[in-house]
Chain A
């Protein structure tokens, strides 16, 4: 064993402390993380996080793939809200290539991204309920995640690892069934979310378990580079959608909820309110779409956007473009670009360096889960083990994004 591996031993017979391996495959951690904890009774004295159990070297693989083949890699970062990752990547490349995206495509993207945000927050908030002993809320609201996945399925054919869209827009237009499903979702989801809130928000047991637990100050949160709902729960109103709008978010009217104390209860409230705001954004997007010209679902950039298959077989130009795109022969400027989107867990950044080759020279993902999670072990010190478990689920750490 390597000498610096962080494993405590119980060799000291005088020691009152117990070493507990929380993970790597512990049902309470909802993912593959290991935390080696030193316990004094039920209280955590110190902890060491070990991560990397599902490290798949995406940054290395990305250096060997043309741009459009990197989209499936981004699926597997935060797999609870893959479309946000996919579109974040597409927008990064579009920024590099200076592609102007039609408004209709922006609005379609906003619908999908906000649906994924809802799906992501459903997972996190219902699991906080589950971890505090309320299975009902988990089972009840989870069906709406299923409805969201049905919408994704209608749009792109896949559910979890969506690989949705292309550089320049979508691979096909939304069909009528998709719009009908979105309408149905917008009608039914607010009722269910209201009921979900009724079950938990003023629930004495839930408040006792979450309020005042794992409080984080604004300063500490910024010091640790927190972003997303976790940062907003501490009272900092930073949201990439507002501070650095992409995909026409500036056209929408919505609010950024912030908390005050950064405890688990505040994080829960912030995520719930964000779901309401997402519903608001989707409603506005559906209305805005009606005034946009129909049938536009991608930017008119034949040199970057794959032509329809029918064209490829019958049209010389389309065949050439198809070949060039598939072989990674598109001319992209030699430049570096950083683009950030607001993922389910915070600022998801793509730092892309292109040297004119077929593949990126370097691609780095700024993964919010990775950066948020480093505070877990220090903040667990002095906490009860049972509180640390809900703390972890309220941080919504997704192993795929943590390890890349």
Chain B
């Protein structure tokens, strides 16, 4: 498979540069995915952008895994349009202190993506020029995509997964 060797190539180059800081490499559905840490995330992104030609930032979002040490995953999707490869980068940060350096220094387009992530998950992007809520009203007070905010009545039991054998 062509794509796999290409992914392997990227993986090798990243490991050469960042060593232990690039972990949990996997390839779900052919998309190279790895985990890195917030102290090197800007270096990783800029290395990918400048050296490995991932010049396009497709998306930034987050996922909440409550109850874990580092319960919020910030997820970046980058795209190398020339070689037609995508890569997914995850950074797990703590729920109590969800901060991560901003990517707006690399891509201006990261601005609103980070504002959306801040609005919905409360992730504070350090160095962001204008970190305000974007979709919700300013005085909402909570970050609604976090799992502790239920959409439906939490006392309702008829939809609990355990009643469906899960």
A4 to B133: give the CA distance in the assembly, Å. 10
- Among candidates A51, A238, A371, residue contacting B109 with C-beta atoms closer than 8 Å: A371
Interface string of B117-146 (1 = CB under 8 A from A): 000100000000000111111110000110
B166 engages A357 (CB within 8 Å): yes
User: 13 A-B Cβ contacts within 8 A?
Assistant: A4-B132, A52-B137, A55-B135, A63-B151, A96-B29, A223-B107, A327-B164, A338-B88, A351-B77, A356-B166, A358-B164, A362-B63, A371-B109
Taking the complex as formed, is B37 at the interface, i.e. its CB lies under 8 A from any CB of chain A? no
Of the listed stretches A28-36, A205-213, A329-337, name the one at the interface; the rest are far from the partner chain. A329-337
- B149-166 residues with Cβ-Cβ distance < 8 A to A are 151-152, 161, 164, 166
B84 engages A244 (CB within 8 Å): yes
- Among candidates B33, B111, B134, B145, residue contacting A60 with C-beta atoms closer than 8 Å: B145
B138 engages A364 (CB within 8 Å): no
**Known contacts A64-B152, A223-B107, A351-B61; A59/B145 CB under 8 A:** yes
List the 4 closest pairs (A to B, CB-CB), nearest first: A225-B109, A52-B135, A374-B112, A2-B138
Question: Which one of B58, B63, B161 has the highest number of Cβ atoms from chain A below 10 Å of its Cβ?
Answer: B58
Q: Which residues of A contact B44 (CB under 8 A)?
A: none
Size bracket of the A interface? 35 or more
Q: Which residues of A contact B55 (CB under 8 A)?
A: 222
A238 engages B135 (CB within 8 Å): no
Q: Which residues of A contact B75 (CB under 8 A)?
A: 351
- Among candidates B56, B77, B112, B136, residue contacting A349 with C-beta atoms closer than 8 Å: B77
- A282 CB, min distance to chain B CBs, angstroms: 26
Taking the complex as formed, is B28 at the interface, i.e. its CB lies under 8 A from any CB of chain A? yes
Taking the complex as formed, is B11 at the interface, i.e. its CB lies under 8 A from any CB of chain A? no
- B80 CB, min distance to chain A CBs, angstroms: 10
- B125 CB, min distance to chain A CBs, angstroms: 15
- A310-360 residues with Cβ-Cβ distance < 8 A to B are 327-329, 335-338, 340, 347, 349, 351, 353, 356-358
Closest to B150 in A: A64
Q: Which residues of A contact B14 (CB under 8 A)?
A: none
Q: Which residues of B contact A353 (CB under 8 A)?
A: 63
Q: Which residues of A contact B152 (CB under 8 A)?
A: 64
Interface string of B35-72 (1 = CB under 8 A from A): 00000000000000000000111110101100000000
**Known contacts A2-B139, A223-B108, A374-B109; A335/B161 CB under 8 A:** no
Taking the complex as formed, is B86 at the interface, i.e. its CB lies under 8 A from any CB of chain A? yes
A243 engages B56 (CB within 8 Å): no
Taking the complex as formed, is B81 at the interface, i.e. its CB lies under 8 A from any CB of chain A? yes
Number of residues of chain B lying within 8 A (CB) of chain A: 42
Q: Which residues of A contact B81 (CB under 8 A)?
A: 236, 238, 243
Interface string of A68-97 (1 = CB under 8 A from B): 000000000000000000000000000110
Taking the complex as formed, is A204 at the interface, i.e. its CB lies under 8 A from any CB of chain B? no
Interface residues, chain B, with chain A CB atoms under 8 Å away: 28-29, 31, 33, 55-59, 61, 63-64, 75, 77, 81, 84, 86, 88, 107-113, 116, 120, 132-139, 144-145, 151-152, 161, 164, 166
Q: Which residues of B contact A338 (CB under 8 A)?
A: 29, 31, 77, 86, 88
A336 to B64: give the CA distance in the assembly, Å. 14
Interface residues, chain A, with chain B CB atoms under 8 Å away: 2, 4-6, 51-52, 55, 57, 59-61, 63-64, 95-96, 222-226, 236, 238, 243-244, 327-329, 335-338, 340, 347, 349, 351, 353, 356-358, 361-362, 364, 366, 370-371, 373-375, 403-404
B166 engages A366 (CB within 8 Å): no
Question: Which one of A52, A55, A225 has the highest number of Cβ atoms from chain B below 10 Å of its Cβ?
Answer: A225
New A-B contacts (19) at CB < 8 Å, excluding given A64-B152, A225-B110, A364-B61: A52-B134, A60-B144, A60-B145, A96-B29, A222-B56, A225-B56, A225-B107, A225-B113, A338-B29, A338-B77, A353-B63, A358-B166, A361-B63, A362-B63, A362-B64, A370-B112, A370-B116, A374-B109, A403-B135
Q: Which residues of B contact A356 (CB under 8 A)?
A: 166
- A163 CB, min distance to chain B CBs, angstroms: 21
- A387 CB, min distance to chain B CBs, angstroms: 22
- Among candidates A6, A61, A95, A329, residue contacting B151 with C-beta atoms closer than 8 Å: A61
Q: Which residues of A contact B59 (CB under 8 A)?
A: 349, 351, 364, 366, 371
- B52 CB, min distance to chain A CBs, angstroms: 16
A357 engages B161 (CB within 8 Å): yes
- B140 CB, min distance to chain A CBs, angstroms: 10
B109 engages A223 (CB within 8 Å): yes
